[in-house]
Amino acid sequence: MSIQTINPSTNKTEKSFEEMTEKAVDAAVAQAAKAFDHWKKTSYAERATLLHKVASLMREKKSALAKIITMEMGKLIAQAEGEITLSADIIDYYATNGAKFLADKSLNPEHGQAFIRYSPIGVLLGVEPWNFPFYQVARFAAPNIMIGNTVLVKHASIVPQCGILLEDLFRDAGAPHGLYTNLLMSGKRASTLVSDERIKGVSLTGSEAAGASIAAAAGKYLKKSVLELGGSDAFIILEDADIDQAVEWAVVGRMNNNGECCVAAKRFIAVEPIADEFLRKFKDKLSKLVVGDPMDPATQLGPLSSEEAAVQLEDQVSRSVKGGAKVLLGGKRVDRAGAFMQPTILTDLKPGIAAYHEELFGPVASFYRVKDEQAAIVLANDSPFGLGGSVFTKDIERGKRVADQIDTGMVFINHPTWTQADLPFGGTKRSGYGRELSELGIDEFVNKKLIRVSELTDPF
């Protein structure tokens, strides 16, 4: 079976790769286990030196790497370059701060002395998505390599060249063979691979179905797992918000990465006094977006990642309209080659309508008007997802009170849900569990070993 790069701007196949054989995968796991025996004995300084080198190479090759991202999954070229910069920043962040994060933690027991010592657990499997093909890998690989683990990465099948280039970066930086390994294989095989006793943990960013499959396998074989799944972030606009600012961020929050972002603002909830003004200005901004070739710096909205993704999103919109939703803007495919979808706004959404419950992964915004703040909170929480969300208000204390009542892993005030190296990232409910990034992101796949020292007279 071959794994292909299909350019979503044209829907033409650019390159094909043969999937790894079972023998090749087994050899890769064996090499990762062998590398772990050496890597776990290295110092934090040695690990940091390697990671800094990887980050440096990323920045040096930013333009070339960004072009591959754009060609494989359709991200706007400027955003692809931004992703490379962010990925390098994350790698540097863990190289710089890892030793501090992993230092012994002193305890104060009633008797004797005690401390927690962090140690690596072994070979980890990362199953990563196509929408941020470098950033998602950086936030998995960097902290775990700093811990002393080794990693196997099964990247999304539609971005095979990104996966290969990431492994090349580690090799060129001088990483020992087996420290970072790219696996060209299907997602189904990744779930099966979890059973391998040499693999000690698994992290997945992706769909609910993929997450359920990986979590089931991890549970069956008693292995730690971290899941970052879908999201349907609420974007609440209160009556005291700066409307123009809210509209600007609404466009960014919904259309960033062509709308294919787990923490994209997807449900826009405006209280009645300002709902009409917000919707009018929001529609005006979206209607003027320039749709086109993502390699062109003038383009503001590129294609979806694949024809399959475009067909699925169009079907979600169609089913929603049949269920009673109204299309205020767009709603159809763009009349050109490639996996393009018009900027779209859906209104009149109610329980039972597809767009009310499902995650819309693309340039489709769901708009709701509600009576007041409390109604906005209730609606924001009426979702199976719990990844991120945002609240727009000039009263910051009010924003904090609202944020405290939203059942998600992250809430931003006067900004759409965002990401950076030193902020924890993760959700609750059907958006997954565990955290990546910040100090919390280095705290998942470690053995937190208690070491207690007793005095001879200790009664314990």
Within a domain: 389: yes
Q: Is residue 182 part of a domain?
A: yes
| 110 lies in the same domain as 43 | yes
Is residue 421 one of the residues assigned to a domain?
no
Q: Is residue 322 in some structural domain?
A: yes
Distance CA 346, CA 356 (A): 10
d(CA 202, CA 351): 35
Query: In CATH, what number is assigned to the domain containing residue 96?
Result: 3.40.605.10
Same domain, 295 and 314: yes
Residue type at 403?
A: A
Question: What's the domain range around 281?
Answer: 233-413
261 is catalytic: no
Cβ atoms of residues 248 and 242 within 8 Å = no
Cross-sheet strand order for the sheet of 150-154: 180-183, 150-154, 123-127, 199-205, 224-228, 432-433
Same domain, 190 and 250: no
From 228, 260, 359, 444, active-site residue:
228
Q: Are 94 and 422 in contact (CB under 8 A)?
A: no
Report DSSP state, residue 413.
E
Q: Is residue 205 domain-shared with residue 352, that is, in the same domain? A: no
- Are the C-beta atoms of 272 and 280 separated by less than 8 Å? no
Other CB atoms closer than 10 Å to residue 349's CB: what's the count? 21
Q: Are residues 51 and 91 in the same domain?
A: yes
Number of domain units in the chain: 2
Task: Give CA–CA dist 40/46, Å, rounded.
Answer: 11
* 460 found inside a domain: no
Q: What CATH code is carried by the domain that includes residue 404? A: 3.40.309.10
76: helix, coil or strand?
Answer: coil
CA distance 68 to 75: 10
pLDDT 10s digit of each residue in the chain, 460 long?
A: 689 999 999 999 999 999 999 999 999 999 999 999 999 999 999 999 999 999 999 999 999 999 999 999 999 999 999 999 999 999 999 999 999 999 999 999 988 899 999 999 999 999 999 999 999 999 999 999 999 999 999 999 999 999 999 999 999 999 999 999 999 998 889 999 999 999 999 999 999 999 999 999 999 999 999 999 999 999 999 999 999 999 999 999 999 999 999 999 999 999 999 999 999 999 999 999 999 999 999 999 999 999 999 999 999 999 999 999 999 999 999 999 999 999 999 999 999 999 999 999 999 999 999 999 999 999 999 999 999 999 999 999 999 999 999 999 999 999 999 999 999 999 999 999 999 999 999 999 999 999 999 876 655 5
Of the residues 167, 261, 262, 359, only one is catalytic, namely 262
If asked whether residues 301 and 260 sit together in one domain, one would say yes
222 with 261, same domain: the answer is no
394 in the same domain as 249:
yes
Helix ranges (DSSP H) in 152-306: 160-172, 187-193, 208-220, 243-255, 272-287
Residue 262 catalytic? yes
Residue type at 445 in one-letter notation = F
Examine the domain organization and report whether 119 and 262 are in the same domain.
Answer: no
Same domain as 243, residue 96: no
Same domain, 168 and 60: yes
Dmax (CA) for the chain in angstroms is 82
